[in-house]
Amino acid sequence: MRVGKSTFLHLCLAFSLSLILILILLTLVSAQEVDSLRSSTDSAYTIPDSGLVLVAPVTSLIAEDYKYDDGEQLKLSWVPSIDDQLVDSKVLGYRLFRSIDGGTPEILAKLPPGTNSFLDRTVQRERKYQYYLETFSENFVVQSIVTAAISPEREWLNLDRGWLFIIALFISIAIIFFVEKAKRGHKLYVRKIAGLEAIDEAVGRATEMGRPVLFIPGINDMDDVQTLAALTILGRVSRTIADYDSQIFMPVSRSLVMTAARETIKTSYMAAGRPDAYSDDMVNYVTDEQFGYVAAVDGLMVRERPATVFLLGAFFAESLILAETGNSVGAIQIAGTARPAQLPFFIAACDFTLIGEELFAASAYLSGEPRQLGSLKGQDVGKGLAMSVIILGVLAVTIATAWDVEIMHNVHNWLLGVFSSN
């Protein structure tokens, strides 16, 4: 079959038009796909505003139980944001959030830049806690991971205080050793305390002059160890007074002290074989008011003019008033207190002064009882150990600072670790 020239041209033209139409259709479809892809990409990824100050979150956030406590603390630690710099830091701080038993997280604390740990002291045993941190800049906030749920636990022993346990054990063994030694009849040396040695002389002087003895046990109640020490000495003083057939006045400012003092004096008179000479009027309650009590005692001193005055116990601003009044009536005065601020007044105005722990050592000194003497000597071992540690610490710090000796640095750090209260 022969095709004419005009027919062939018509076929070529139709084919070209079809090809052009197909190309136009393909171009339109491709443009729609590109627009669709671009719109989906834009919706998934938003280019941040150039004004945002982006910061990285903290890392390695860990919550753990605080060791050797009563189950009242949890310790948090983390690595600060890499944008938390000493200079030109982008980080303005951290916000710590906490959730309890899976509840809604609430802000627990706001922390400054550079912080890498936190101690939560508001937790309770048998409850579960989770934490996370927010790092924030001027206009950006990023959150860390959330910690695993954790509950605080109670530890019965603080193993970080092992050395203190060894020291306490050493002192306890020393006390037991000296008590047993005293029980076997060995004489334990206790240095002479002039104020206690003068008790017999002072009471004897009052007997010779026919004037009374005035005993003042301080102004605190029976819950003060100084008052207890004063009543211990009162037992010895009242026994001597009963033997010498002298007279004692004891005004007190606490009702419980009055009751205890009456029983102490009564026991001493019974031990001396003179229970009939005892009278409750020897001890009188005056008032709890500090300077009202002082005024009453000063009046008693001026009226009765005692030959001997004992000022033993806890004293405050009234110490010099009492001591000066006793000195003005010519009495021998034996004073003692554990309050350092009042000791200078007693030393200046009294004849004998028991300084600090001499007041507490009086019971062992006067009685000679083996358990008390052994305890006193055992405590002296502890004091000697404390003095040795203080001297060692001073030498270690001095040598380490002056000559940078490494071993002295180690000794200093070890002592800090042993005796630190943290």
The neighbour count for residue 1, using CB atoms within 10 Å, is 2
Q: Which three-class secondary structure state does DSSP give residue 13?
A: helix
Taking each helix axis from N to C end, the angle separating 406-419 and 162-183, rounded to the nearest 10 degrees, works out to 70
Q: Can you tell me the distance from the alpha carbon of 324 to that of 404, in angstroms, rounded to the nearest whole number?
A: 54
Digitized pLDDT (tens) for each residue of the chain, 422 residues in all: 444 555 655 666 666 666 666 656 656 555 555 454 344 434 333 434 557 889 999 999 999 999 888 899 999 999 999 999 878 889 999 999 999 999 999 999 999 999 999 999 999 999 999 999 999 999 999 999 999 999 999 988 888 788 889 999 999 999 999 999 999 989 888 889 999 999 999 999 999 999 999 999 999 999 999 999 999 999 999 999 999 999 999 999 999 999 999 999 999 999 999 999 999 999 999 999 999 999 999 999 999 999 999 999 999 999 999 999 999 999 999 999 999 999 999 999 999 999 998 999 988 888 888 998 999 999 999 999 999 999 999 999 999 999 999 999 999 999 988 887 66
How many helices and strands (H and E) does the chain possess? 12, 13
What one-character-per-residue DSSP string does 234-251 give?
Answer: HHHHHHHHHHHT--EEEE
Residues 6+ apart with CB under 8 A from 246: 203, 206, 207, 212, 213
CB 171 within 8 A of CB 382: yes
- Rg of the chain over Cα atoms, rounded to whole angstroms, equals 43
Q: CA dist 361 to 142, 227, 368, 377, Å?
A: 66, 13, 11, 10
Beta strand 129-136 pairing with 59-65: unpaired
Burial profile 284-297: b = 16 or more Cβ within 10 angstroms, e = fewer: ebbeeeeeebbebb
All domains of the chain, ordered by start, with CATH?
A: 59-143 (2.60.40.10), 199-350 (3.40.50)
Q: Can you tell me the distance from the alpha carbon of 359 to that of 234, in angstroms, rounded to the nearest whole number?
A: 12
At 9 the pLDDT is 58
- CA dihedral 57→63→68→71, nearest 10 degrees, is 130
At 266 the pLDDT is 97
The first and second tokens of residue 10, run together, are 């018509």
Of 401, 397, 398, 390, which Cα lies nearest the Cα of 412? Answer: 397
The first and second tokens of residue 59, run together, are 């890392």
The first and second tokens of residue 328, run together, are 């003005």
Start-end of H helices in 45-143 = none
Q: Can you tell me the distance from the alpha carbon of 304 to that of 340, in angstroms, rounded to the nearest whole number?
A: 30
Q: Can you tell me the distance from the alpha carbon of 93 to that of 90, in angstroms, rounded to the nearest whole number?
A: 9
CB 40 within 8 A of CB 31: no
At 1 the pLDDT is 44
